[in-house]
Structure 1
Amino acid sequence: MNDLYTSDVLPRVVPVVAGVLGAAGLAVACLPARIAMRRELRRRWLTWAVAATVFVGALALRELGATVLAWLLGLIAVAEYARLVRLGRGERAVLVLGALLLPPPALLKAVDLADPFGLRALALLTVACVLPALLSGDTARGGERAARTAFGMLWIPVALTGLVVLEGIALAVVVATAFAGAGAWCGGLLLSRLGGTLARPLSPLSPGRTWGGVLGAGMGVAAGLEAAGAFTVTLWAAVLAGCVLGDLLTAMIKREAGVKSAGTWLPGFGGLLDLIGPLLLALLTAMAVSL
């Protein structure tokens, strides 16, 4: 377990996040009316301001706050995911159970999730995920249902345990992921205009994501980790990979479902998965290199 506690990170992160949000809010407020994206940027800024307050406030309470935050995010995210991939009530119940039971520190220790790739934890999760399809005798979509449920368990509830077990590193990863999103947007908008490799799409899954955006995301991750006093090359590479792949993964699931957003309730983003998709994979990659 890393000894970088939230209490060490918090005094470094709060003024940086407040300053960035303040500067961004002022910039958005000053945009002229003719800018087509003004309304959308204002909506996104409002969502980020609320999200920053919730995340920083919850993680400041250490294990208790992190557990409650993981519960809240997990319950909403698994509901959106189950709807996107058309899972039934049984699979939804399993995912909800995982979202509720996995975050508490006592249970994490009980099933050895301090190592997120522990064989016992994976075995228990796999059995729970395949039961609904097995018990229903589904010969048409049974394998697909079981696979989608197992993946959803790993992608959402297991990933969110990182908010608890990573301690102060979790706050650093959250800040770095947020900065990566801003950096990717700026990089895609500005650096891609230089042409060449920077303007090329990263993947057919999301033509709007360019290599310029990846470069911007890399700078954002570095700035976020440095602001939290947690920068190492290994953690930077892990979080950057998680952010980039997590963004593409979320896009892939939405494209397969034939929708633009995972929901409609979150201003400027759509659904919770649109906001935290990169964070989920970033938490997993951070656990892989930090625990």
Structure 2
Amino acid sequence: MSVLYTSDVLPRVVPVVAGVLGASGLAVACLPARVAMRRELRRRWLTWAVAASVLVGALALRELGATVLAWLLGLVAVAEYARPARLGRGERVVLVLGALVLPPLALMEAEDLVHPFGLRTVALLTAAGVLPALLSGDAARGGERAARTVFGLLWIPVALTGLVVLEGTALAVGVAVVFGDAGAWCGGLLLGRLGGTLARPPAPLSPAPPVPPGKTWAGVLCGGMGVAAGLEAAGAFTVTLWAAVLAGSVLGGLLVSAIEREAGVRAARTWLPGSGGLLDRAGPLLLALPAAMAVTL
């Protein structure tokens, strides 16, 4: 599959996203007060509405919007990641610089102006990631800090370069991730309740920590349908891209949970209504974008 143009995807996505948000918002607003999940659904709907609107609005501005969006997501995400990863000031500076520098470098490569985003960049990222820990003389956690910093560079700034190099495909992937997230939560909750009432509760994805018990195969099934609906709405559905985005979304959510549970926190931050922090919502996107790049570029 080749990269899609934003001008081809945008006219398909905007009416679908607006219609889905409008219809779901009306349905949530009309829920009676006796519904136990009414408040949670309203909070979740608000987060999904803002996420979809910001994503579509930013990527509609093409290269400039994609770069600014990658900057904003990267800066907030690295700040949230540094806390549970217990990184020092030097590592935080490296992550912030990576979030600011990598999207423009990837954009220049995509426009064939220069070609900086290759093995040389990977080598520089590795060197920059390990340098603060080595210079600090931290014999107790130096290796751990270095590894976490290099991982953070690959997981956040490098992944977000997909927003600028995938063009319309990035828009399709972003919409698919939002639809998949909503489908996994709503559908998983509904099927989970039915399973608990009629038969037995759905099995978790894995009985071993750090997978939360709320992550179920029912959620994966409904999330897969949401991802398919998002890709189809954007005119980007292929089995390969669907499988890549679904796998990235599921594993990305589990990865965020693993990091938070290892650090002993429920969420890296709690400023998004009903959704914790940015990493809790952007985690699926941070693996879905590299997966999409792997099967598209």
TM-score normalised per structure 2: 0.92
Aligned residue in 1 for 2:278: 272
CA distance in 2, matches of 1:155, 1:75: 13
Shift of residue 112, structure 1, vs aligned partner: 4.3
CA distance in 2, matches of 1:27, 1:276: 25
1:103 is paired with a residue whose SS is helix
Aligned residue in 1 for 2:63: 63
2:258 is paired with a residue whose SS is helix
CA distance in 2, matches of 1:285, 1:198: 31
CA distance in 1, matches of 2:177, 2:85: 25
Is contact 1:111–1:120 with CA below 8 Å preserved after alignment? no
Shift of residue 15, structure 1, vs aligned partner: 0.6
Is contact 2:48–2:182 with CA below 8 Å preserved after alignment? no
Stretch deviating more after TM superposition (237-246 or 118-127) = 118-127
CA distance in 2, matches of 1:245, 1:69: 23
Q: Within 5 Å, which residues of 2 pair with 1:168-187?
A: 168-187=168-187
CA distance in 2, matches of 1:199, 1:263: 28
Q: Within 5 Å, which residues of 2 pair with 1:1-291?
A: 2-104=2-104, 105-106=107-108, 110=114, 112-113=116-117, 118-192=118-192, 193-194=194-195, 199-203=202-206, 204=208, 205-291=211-297
Is contact 1:84–1:257 with CA below 8 Å preserved after alignment? yes
Shift of residue 217, structure 1, vs aligned partner: 1.0
Is contact 1:2–1:166 with CA below 8 Å preserved after alignment? no
Stretch deviating more after TM superposition (93-102 or 181-190) = 181-190
Change (3 A) 1:7 1:198: farther
> Aligned Cα RMSD in Å?
1.7
Is contact 1:172–1:224 with CA below 8 Å preserved after alignment? yes
1:78 is paired with a residue whose SS is helix
Change (3 A) 1:197 1:159: farther
Stretch deviating more after TM superposition (239-248 or 178-187) = 178-187
CA distance in 1, matches of 2:3, 2:45: 33
Change (3 A) 1:267 1:176: same
Stretch deviating more after TM superposition (90-99 or 45-54) = 45-54
Q: Deviations over 1:215-255 (max 9, x none)?
A: 11111111110000000111000000000000100110110
Q: Give the aligned length.
A: 287
TM-score normalised per structure 1: 0.94
Name structure 1 gaps, 5 residues minimum. Answer: none
Q: Deviations over 1:196-216 (max 9, x none)?
A: 898110123111011111111
CA distance in 2, matches of 1:121, 1:22: 43
Change (3 A) 1:96 1:56: same
Shift of residue 119, structure 1, vs aligned partner: 2.5
Give the fraction of aligned pairs with identical amino acids, expressed as a percent. 78
Change (3 A) 1:111 1:152: farther
1:263 is paired with a residue whose SS is coil
Q: Which runs of 4+ in 1 moved over 6 A?
A: 195-198
Name structure 2 gaps, 5 residues minimum. Answer: none
